[in-house]
Amino acid sequence: MTTPIDRFRLALAQLNPIMGDIAANLAMARKARAEAAAMGADVVMFTELFLAGYPAEDLVLRPAFQDACRRACEDLARDTADGGPAVLVGLPWNEDGKVYNAYAALDAGAVAAVRFKVDLPNYGVFDEKRVFAAGPLPGPVSLRGLRLGLPICEDIWGEEVVECLAETGSEILLVPNGSPYWHDKMLERYNIAAARVTETGLPMAYLNQVGGQDELVFDGASFILNGDASLAGQFRAFAETVALTEWRREPRGWRCVAAPRELVEEGEQADYAACVLGLRDYVEKSGFPGVVLGLSGGIDSALCAAMAVDALGSERVHCIMLPYRYTSSESLNDAAACAKALNVRYDILPIASAVEGLEAALAPLFAGTPRGVTEENLQSRARGTMLMSVSNKFGAMVVTTGNKSEMSTGYATLYGDMNGGFNPIKDLYKTEVYRLSALRNGWKPSGALGPDGEVVPANILVKAPTAELREGQKDQDSLPPYDILDDILVGLVEEERRVAEIVARGHDEATVKKVERLLYLAEYKRRQSAPGVKVTRRNFGRDRRYPIVNHFRDTGAPAHVPEAGMDRARGAARADAVDF
């Protein structure tokens, strides 16, 4: 039986695993364990599914992948025979033909214990019931003189798992997480963690992954709560760290007496930092040497260029202006000023010959038809082709620059301005693009590689937005003002509100119905769009999945009240239920 102890040193490894690169993740774990040993740690803790990367989606179902993760776990377990820190690490675990989201305790050269995730999230970005089996309610793990409760991520979002751990003798809750970022997520995590701590009286170390994985960004921002729910430690957001925490047994239980206390970005600063980290990791983990983007002189491309430089450095960002006859001198000047402020390579490639060549080729088929949107879109498609050609020739990834307002309403051209590998502002509405641009001109996140000061020229922030596909064109010729449009879209997309409810907020009914129609019609475009950083609670793709072919339209009627006497089937359903 393990002798109880009075002091305990826990190292928390807030790191950025690489999806599927199990050898690299194992090397990262070994390096962190060596750092923890140098600090005098008793145990080093890693995040959910660390050896695999998170979320691995259907990759988890491949037996060869499961085997590789298990071998890495056993290799790491052998390391613990050296008498250094014990290890807590996550991986997929195949047992009796079922695959579990597991957390393993490694000590004395072996796998000392394994616990399985119980509550598998199956909402929003999560789809764990698709690939994992739910584990049984767990008891504590005895390790280095402690009885540790190891609930895995979602297991603390309800009461049952933590209550079971407390009732079976856990002394400290150590929670490994793969909790993705969205706006104001930190407050939600604090509230959930504080509720579990208050219910049980047990202190909690909440360790979260950091880094980008496809559309998701994990912000880290790990923290520690003592048994009275007071904040004992706070780690940085959007950055890797291995840090030591010290714990002492007191009359009322264990207490964290030493831990880092860092400030974390909040609100729109956190949104910006998330976009930068998501872009950086997508480029780095995919192996691109840099990025190329069209710099139009507008707000969207200017913000994307600033994010790209903050993520990768100016030497890895190539901006190209692609002017046509409708491109104003104001746009040419603004694009040049933005490129100069960011110190990036900047080229001007006129598209007239490309557009006119396409028009000439199509002339026999288009003869006798009026000029319109089709001809306007040739400009966008010529630009998209040229950017993709630069990418193919030199290897840099094309950054596409459409915002969420445009993606919602279909104001983007397939195989044109939608071309690209990744979109850092895909989940930012147009009004948010303006706010984040103004924010970046007076601040930049920790670790950003771009210059201080103004990077989005002041004139871009004040001029009317336009695609410049025809003479005198402005976005608001065919869309409501963006403050109105975005409020309607928030109601339709983020909140799933009825048309009647949005109208009651003060909007014109015909305008709301028009926006809803555009939203539904653009689904086919969104299915073909580049991935982009999730910032809101409901991004397009993982969070919001609508049919492409969809004839439903909200009539604007108020909420339906079921007719009296028409709901007898509910009672019949209850009466007909079979009790096994």
Which residue type, as a one-letter code, is found at position 230?
S
Identify any residues that bridge with 291 across adjacent strands, giving them in sequence order.
Answer: 317, 397
The residues, ordered by sequence, that sit 6+ positions from 531 with a Cβ below 8 Å of its Cβ are 214, 215, 282, 422, 423, 426, 541
**Is 408 a known ligand-binding residue?**
no
**Is 298 a known ligand-binding residue?**
yes
**Is 177 a known ligand-binding residue?**
no
**Is 222 a known ligand-binding residue?**
no
**Is 301 a known ligand-binding residue?**
yes
Whole-number Cα distances in Å, 106 to 81, 140, 195, 322, 540: 9, 15, 30, 57, 40
**Residue 495: active-site member:** no
**Residue 340: active-site member:** no
Separation of alpha carbons 580 and 577, rounded Å: 10
**Is 299 a known ligand-binding residue?**
yes
**Is 294 a known ligand-binding residue?**
yes
42 contacts 284 by C-beta, under 8 angstroms:
no
Name the catalytic one among 35, 48, 215, 432. 48
The 10 Å Cβ neighbour count of residue 547 is: 9
**Is 359 a known ligand-binding residue?**
no
Closest by CA position to 378, among listed 355, 401, 357 = 355
What tokens does 115 get?
């616990």
**Is 437 a known ligand-binding residue?**
no
**Residue 256: active-site member:** no
The 10 Å Cβ neighbour count of residue 415 is: 13
**Is 496 a known ligand-binding residue?**
no
* Sign of the Cα pseudo-torsion (557, 558, 560, 563, in order): negative
**Is 478 a known ligand-binding residue?**
no
Separation of alpha carbons 161 and 171, rounded Å: 14
Per-residue DSSP letter, 136:
P
What tokens does 253 get?
């239980």
Name the catalytic one among 35, 69, 73, 117. 117
Closest by CA position to 270, among listed 234, 317, 220, 232 = 220
Strand residue runs (E) in 124-228: 141-143, 146-149, 172-177, 204-208, 210-213, 216-219, 223-225
Separation of alpha carbons 324 and 466, rounded Å: 14
Question: Sheet harboring 110-116: ordered strands across?
Answer: 110-116, 98-107, 86-95, 43-45, 7-14, 241-250, 253-258
Name the catalytic one among 153, 164, 256, 338. 153
Q: Number of helices (H) and strands (E), helices first, in the chain?
A: 17, 19
Separation of alpha carbons 316 and 75, rounded Å: 37
**Is 296 a known ligand-binding residue?**
yes
**Is 18 a known ligand-binding residue?**
no
Whole-number Cα distances in Å, 28 to 13, 22, 136: 10, 10, 30
**Is 534 a known ligand-binding residue?**
no
**Is 179 a known ligand-binding residue?**
yes
Cα radius of gyration (the chain): 27
Separation of alpha carbons 345 and 69, rounded Å: 42
The 10 Å Cβ neighbour count of residue 307 is: 30
Per the annotation, binding residues for deamido-NAD(+) are: 377, 406, 525
Active site residues: 48, 117, 153
Annotated binding site for L-glutamine: 123, 179, 185
**Residues forming the annotated binding site for ATP?**
294-301, 401
Instruction: Return binding residues.
Output: 123, 179, 185, 294-301, 377, 401, 406, 525
